[in-house]
Chain A
């Protein structure tokens, strides 16, 4: 099995391949042809063309990757030796919720973790919001996080400044479970490992990354990471959103995919887009996370009414 793992590593980070393409190939190999990735890489070009219908360009990419095998072995040995785990799409450890939410199009074929990986099967929630969230939002975040721990739910967070950080810290402080989804490769996050060491050791915090292990932080990865936060969570709680930016687009995306999204009901004098999100389908909740009736009629209901007319 470990021999196959290095091929997962190779396949998951081909620079010109989309997640969908990679996952489709993996499904073909493992489900349809029922062979290992190692066996697949041993096949001839002809078989690649005939059975898998690969293009010349794709074959070129795979051949180039094959040459890197030994090197990737060193990388993998290095990671396993340091206690990191590599969880493949077809593994029992791989969280079903991630598959359900992201599907083949976006579910990362290989995820890297450190710590208690059984947290991946917890009842998970994410608490998202602007980096520059106001005090009310942060207070709300704290409440949601603490309530979550009381319900034995696991808080998924990106650890970024603002709502993310608060959610994570409150969950940790309340001795709850948390998953920290990194905006970078797992080998580049030593300071976070050090900061949260005790919680990792105690089994309360899982560090997770879906990116190439040595990839440094970048804006692109930070953005990409948001969908993994959504993907890992069963419910999303939105503390505060502007009318643009990461939180805004994330929620819209989630609503489009019919995710269960709860939005903090703002006070009258607040200047943010929470109400707008509620009108688009987010469920309004109070300071303790309970659903409330609002004066806002969700847009979908409007449409239904007009159709009835």
Chain B
């Protein structure tokens, strides 16, 4: 097909007048059954380079993509243009996926989007044999390379596929972020002739700036000021979940409409936040890099990083989401020299110790195990297991095999020894990349050009609008006013313990949720809060479901969300607790008592309590008892102990929730009558919440009216080292 004819068809099907040159070059190669690696910046129009050919092929085009949200958007667009497209991923129900598969088999789909993890699904493996496949696309192809910044093991399997696919089936791999090394790695892995087409990466509408600060408080002050004056909505990226939460609360304190977001939120909450952010409900969404690829908002007017990223690629990718509508967007990196500690520790501790690898290998030598059972057998965290298994799979020491539809890992006969030199090499490579990122913060070279060059684009020129091009070097220090406000805030902000009993149900595509908040229940239908008026007006079915959920919630637990006085990792709270608990055995000092009472007072001043209970210790003596007694005395409430009916091991040795829950199941009891009593439940540390949730259930059974947890410190994943 020549370009003219193609552009006629393009106009017919998509309504566009023509192709960009690079788009046509790519499409032409695809029609000639070639394999292409296309590296182009965001906004180039990569989608068309595979969507158009897909409409012209006889059979099905399969698109591997990790970006669920983008998949949905693209499919909407395609269906609107009468091109039948479908998708298969974990967010669809099994039924939906099955229908899509059937359609693909019956040649009723032109384009099928699929998440790479699906390759492990037996249903997919059966089905794909029956499909007529004309073209394969790999989106975000940099995920193939372990040298890249976002390596995903599932993408490795795409490589295996590429190696066995007959060479006359065209393949298109696309990405915006691949350095020369990574591009080379991808080319090496996708065997056969693969041509590289690379465009320039200059994003003209992005205005890059580095703001030098001296501490975290400076950053907080700067952000509040900036958000108050900037037009439009944007993203603030933080290094940790805790900082995302704290920063968002600080902004709220400054009367700014922000929300926090991270992987610790349950998926329902995440969906709500994503939806509301897309419609500009918030000035800024403050998030870890969990707010990732695939949130395709065209009008992000600013992106602020409070934490330096691990490499210029990560940075380019994260800021690349700004200004997709072409209008100016401001990009800031707030940098304090101490910030290098966090990324360095990530890089240096990226992998678990060798012994942990051996644990996994030894377990799998005995029997094939799925992920959950592997976690149980080795007592490692899910994160550790995932990192280890990715490496073992990569080195072909283990394989993932389907046993009657269940995924299990097998140790291979004659497997090679674990090769840690690649880990060392990778670590050194990452350290070099990080050096380059630190260099960015200080460079006088055009910042945009610095990033483009790093990513292998040597064709762009200076942007003219970054701080380097404008000859500025921006510093910021907070003033006394800022200092005062921040201090006030830090003394009054308390982390929530989200253990309140809640139940949800999906029915007829509606989502019902009920949460016990103390005196009553709070309900939502499709995230719309059910007030008294709304409840009266509900139809019969809806009422029935809501009432049913209320009964279930009531029955299960009368535990409501509690409060901690601080995050474990904040200031010297964690260190103090650790010393008392595991070193000198002294009672918790007064300052912890004071801040806990303040947190309690501010949060539960309107709640009446009848008594105080405290969580019995496994080992740390009378620390919690003494602490709780002091609180009970201050509040003039009677205090009793919760009893343990059997010995348990310390929760902290169990690295994952499954084992922690198992450790304490049915362990707790009480020997007083607590019918209809409102209870303040005290412990020192809140980690997974398993203990408090279990106690909540038991107290509910014994007749409690409401149970409120109060602790000194809340951890946020991995705070308490083994």
Spell out A's residues near B (CB within 8 Å). Answer: 2-3, 5-6, 38, 42, 67-78, 80-83, 115-116, 190-191, 193-194, 197-198, 200-203, 214
Contact = CB atoms under 8 A, between A and B. Distances in A.
9 contacts: A2-B164, A71-B129, A72-B129, A77-B164, A78-B125, A81-B160, A191-B404, A194-B368, A201-B411
Nearest to A206: B413
A269 to B, nearest CB: 45
Give the top 4 A-B pairs by smallest Cβ distance, nearest first.
A70-B133, A83-B399, A190-B403, A77-B161
Interface residues of B, number: 37
B403 A194 contact: yes
Given A70-B165, A197-B367, A201-B413, A190 B402 contact: yes
Contacts of B157: 77, 81
Given A69-B166, A71-B130, A198 B413 contact: no
A205 to B, nearest CB: 9
Interface of B: 59, 119, 125-126, 128-134, 157, 160-161, 163-169, 192, 365-368, 399-404, 410-414
A69 B165 CA distance: 8
Contacts of B368: 193-194, 197
B401 A70 contact: no
Contact of B413 (A73, A75, A202): A202
Given A80-B160, A197-B410, A74 B365 contact: no
Contact of B133 (A71, A77, A193): A71
Nearest to B128: A74
A116 B169 CA distance: 34
A83 B410 contact: yes
A201 B161 contact: no
A115 B399 CA distance: 12
Given A67-B132, A75-B125, A82 B401 contact: yes
A198 B413 CA distance: 9
Contact of B399 (A6, A76, A82, A197): A82
Nearest to A9: B164
Contacts of A214: 126
Given A75-B129, A190-B402, A194-B403, A201 B160 contact: no
A45 B721 CA distance: 69
Nearest to A76: B164
Contact of A70 (B169, B365, B411): B169
Given A82-B400, A190-B403, A74 B125 contact: yes
Contacts of B411: 201
A101 B591 CA distance: 86
A80 B161 CA distance: 10
Contacts of A38: 166-167
B402 A82 contact: yes
A169 B392 CA distance: 31
Name the residue among A6, A70, A197, A203 with the largest chain B CB count within 10 angstroms.
Answer: A70
Nearest to B62: A70
B361 to A, nearest CB: 11
A72 B365 CA distance: 31
A200 B415 CA distance: 12
B399 A193 contact: no
Contacts of A200: 413
Given A78-B125, A190-B403, A116 B164 contact: no
Contact of A77 (B130, B160, B399, B410): B160
A109 to B, nearest CB: 18
